[in-house]
Amino acid sequence: MRRNLICSCNVLFFVLCNSWRSSSSFCPNNCKLKKNPKITKNNLNFDIHNEYTKFKRMRLTTTLFAFVIGLFLSFNSLASHIIGGEIYYDSLGNNQYKITIEIYRDCNSATDFDNPLNYTIFNADGSIFLVRYIAPFSQNILPVVYDDPCVTVPNDICVERAIYIDTVVLPFGTQGYYVSYQRCCWTGAIDNIVDPADNGITLTTFIPGSMLVGVHNQGARFINYPPLVLCSQNTLNFDHAAFDPDGDSLSYELMAPLLGGSLANIVPDPEDPAPYTPVNWNPTFTETVPFGAGSNITINPATGFMTFTPNLIGSYVVGVAVKEWRNGVLINTKIRTFGYRVVACQIEIPIEVDVTGPTQLIEDCGFAGFIVKRTDLSSNLVVQINLSGTATNGIDYPYIDDTLVIPAGVASDTIGISAFLDSLLEGTETVFFNVILPNPCDGSFDTTSISLNIIDYIPMTITAVDSLNVCADFGQGTNIWCNVQNGISPYSYVWGPGAFPNNDTVYVQPGILEPNLNNFQVYVMDQCAKTITSPNIRVYNQCPLVVPNVLTLNNDGTNELLIIKNWEDYDQVSIQIFNRWGNLIYEKDNYLNDWNGTDMTGKALEEGVYFYMATPKSEKYEYDNKEKTLYTLHGFVHLVKP
């Protein structure tokens, strides 16, 4: 309920006291508190009337306005102090409940905890059942616990907790009750929500009625208070579990804190009923990413175990909800809100280990290196090296010593590694390179590791196209190709003889072909500089035989020999000549285009028509494309004499 303060001191304090609900220290001690007075000239006491009259005559409206605004801003700073809290309750029997409200504030704020604190109990329909005013039960400053000896916690981190305890009687109805507390404002240093210094917090919990539970419920409460300081880029684990006196099942999740109160209503009295509005997040922040992009926070939904890896330095508010389940039915959800400070801390391991070169070594193929880097160059750095994994030091790769010394002023050192070729198919083997460094903060040992795989080298195999036939005279060229397996691709190809592109398939131009057999090869190299050469790829330039059908035997030196065209494309051409009666009159196995119309004794044959058979002999002669067999050319030749 709003109160108006009437101070018999001066009009300015009168105006301010009417405008704000304040602590008693705000007005002079001789102020009198009245409830909802009607402010008129007639009911003001004499002193106030005189002050009011003087005020009207001063006509210093502008100065007074500026002064009031200054006090307003000062009051705003006094209101900013909240960083979190929670509410829980216990059943005491006979419809009595012990209500516990825990509130966390920034000790650096001038605003103390409310005394008294008001909170509101609502019926399930949102109507007010009870408004209570209670004094703090206890107050204590929470210790800043951080067990990293290399971290110096900033001395401005201070969080104070106040516990308020009250006992109320709540009839055990069907619907249940909401218990809510609202207060403005958040501490202004919070970085992940919008306008924290202008907005406040809502803490609330639900007491279920007989529709959900058969007996009076007791609320879950969190066991441990969260860490006050987190190290940027370091991972911290925290047990955020709650305890439920009834043994109800509990589940956990990240949830947005709730808004409540504002600069216009710093201490809502009574509080507003549910539903409540969640905080407005600044860009890149959400309830599940409360530390911003690049940071990590997880919570185990069954145990409440949390892992923090914040990335950004600053102050952040986080909400964790615990849900109570009884016989599979959700009977209550409440949020604990808490503010975390993230500071820059020394990294745990001031060295970095990386791999130079390939992250996967092939036996007898290339080199890699384990590089150890550091940022502090002031002194010699001595680290221990432990090598583990399925690959064996000194057997699968050259022996690596177990100690590395990096001299002062040197930022890094590299240990080279290659893999031996053992011709065994062992599959993928792994080398774990572990660098062990004493921790100067606590005497422990920090280890950083990296791994490298070693794989078998399987030699290349090559297959190439079989022998081919073309006829260059017809303008025929041909593609020749090879297929390489194993080794390490990509491959490079060198074809010869002749100039060809670096490819697994090349085209042989007809103009470079010699008669008959042409042999080509390809030389292949893989990424490990291993090579293989193909067998000869045979390209036969063999055009069809062409036999003339007339010889003019007139001793003029023209057309007097049976010239078989393209005979040089074959290893050998045999010829047989028959007369009209089928008698063999001439035969030669290695015909050299020298038959001049004689029989095998050299006697000139008579003018007339003769039958010939010409048979080429070669490894590759397949112009009879249907049968793929050696082809015999036959026909008639006319001998003409003068």
The hierarchical CATH code for the domain 461-541 is 2.60.40.10
Residue 320 near residue 238, CB atoms below 8 Å: no
Residue 472: helix, strand or coil by DSSP?
helix
Per residue in 244-303, pLDDT (tens digit) is 999 999 999 999 999 999 999 999 999 999 999 999 999 999 999 999 998 999 999 999
Residue 301 near residue 253, CB atoms below 8 Å: yes
Band of pLDDT at residue 435, cut at 50, 70 and 90:
confident
Per residue in 17-28, pLDDT (tens digit) is 333 333 333 333
Q: What are the phi and psi torsion angles at 215 (to 5°)?
A: -130, 170
Band of pLDDT at residue 152, cut at 50, 70 and 90:
low
255, two tokens: 């949830």
Scanning 298-393, the segments in alpha helix (DSSP H) are: none
Domain positions in the chain: 4-59, 82-343, 353-454, 461-541, 550-640
Residue 600 near residue 558, CB atoms below 8 Å: no
Instruction: State the burial class of residue 134 (Cβ atoms within 10 Å of its Cβ: 0-12, 13-18, 19+).
Output: middle
Q: How far is CA 141 from CA 105, 157, 163, 188, 362, in A?
A: 10, 11, 12, 20, 61
Place of tokens 């690596």: 400
The torsion of the CA quartet 23, 25, 31, 35, rounded to 10 degrees, works out to 0
Instruction: State the burial class of residue 85 (Cβ atoms within 10 Å of its Cβ: 0-12, 13-18, 19+).
Output: buried
Band of pLDDT at residue 346, cut at 50, 70 and 90:
low
Pick the most confident of 64-68, 117-121, 455-459, 617-621: 117-121
Q: Mean pLDDT over residues 539-561, rounded? A: 90
Residue 272 near residue 334, CB atoms below 8 Å: no
269, two tokens: 């009295």
Residue 162: closest CA among 81, 96, 218, 223: 81
Q: How far apart are CA 492 and CA 24, in angstroms?
A: 91
Q: How far apart are CA 502 and CA 490, in angstroms?
A: 11
DSSP letter at 220 equals -
- Domain 353-454 identical in fold to domain 550-640: yes
Which region among 17-31, 380-394, 532-546 has the lowest average model confidence (pLDDT)? 17-31
Residue 608 pairs with which residues in a beta bridge? Answer: 639
Q: % helix / strand / coil in the chain, to the nearest 5? A: 10, 45, 45
Q: Mean pLDDT over residues 571-582, rounded? A: 93
Please state, as a whole number, how many other Cβ atoms lie within 10 Å of the Cβ of residue 567: 19
Beta-carbon contacts of 499 under 8 Å, excluding residues fewer than 6 positions away, are none
C-alpha of 230 from chain center? 23
Q: What is the CATH T-level fold of the domain 550-640, as seen in this structure? A: Immunoglobulin-like (2.60.40)
Q: Is the pTM of this model over 0.75?
A: no
DSSP letter at 73 equals H
Using alpha carbons only, give the angle 460, 466, 470 rounded to the nearest 5 degrees: 140
68, two tokens: 């009031």
Q: How far apart are CA 611 and CA 467, in angstroms?
A: 33
Flag whether pLDDT at 100 surpasses 70. Answer: yes
Residue 496 near residue 520, CB atoms below 8 Å: yes
> pLDDT above 90 covers what percent of the chain?
53
DSSP line for 240-302: --EE-TT--EEEEEE---EEEEETTBSS-SSPPPSP-PBPPBPTT--SSSTT-TT-EEEE-TT
Residue 106 pairs with which residues in a beta bridge? Answer: 159
Q: What is the identity of the amino acid at 592?
A: L
Q: Where are the beta strands (DSSP E) in 8-81?
A: 31-34
Place of tokens 């209503």: 265
Per residue in 176-208, pLDDT (tens digit) is 999 999 999 988 789 999 999 899 999 999 999
The hierarchical CATH code for the domain 353-454 is 2.60.40.2030
Q: How far apart are CA 123 and CA 207, in angstroms?
A: 10
Which region among 463-467, 487-491, 539-543, 624-628 has the lowest average model confidence (pLDDT)? 624-628
Radius of gyration of the chain from its Cα atoms, rounded to whole angstroms = 50
Residue 235 near residue 291, CB atoms below 8 Å: no
Band of pLDDT at residue 623, cut at 50, 70 and 90:
very low
HSE toward the beta carbon, residue 355, CA cutoff 13 A: 18
Q: How far apart are CA 449 and CA 431, in angstroms?
A: 10
**N- to C-terminal Cα distance for the chain?**
147
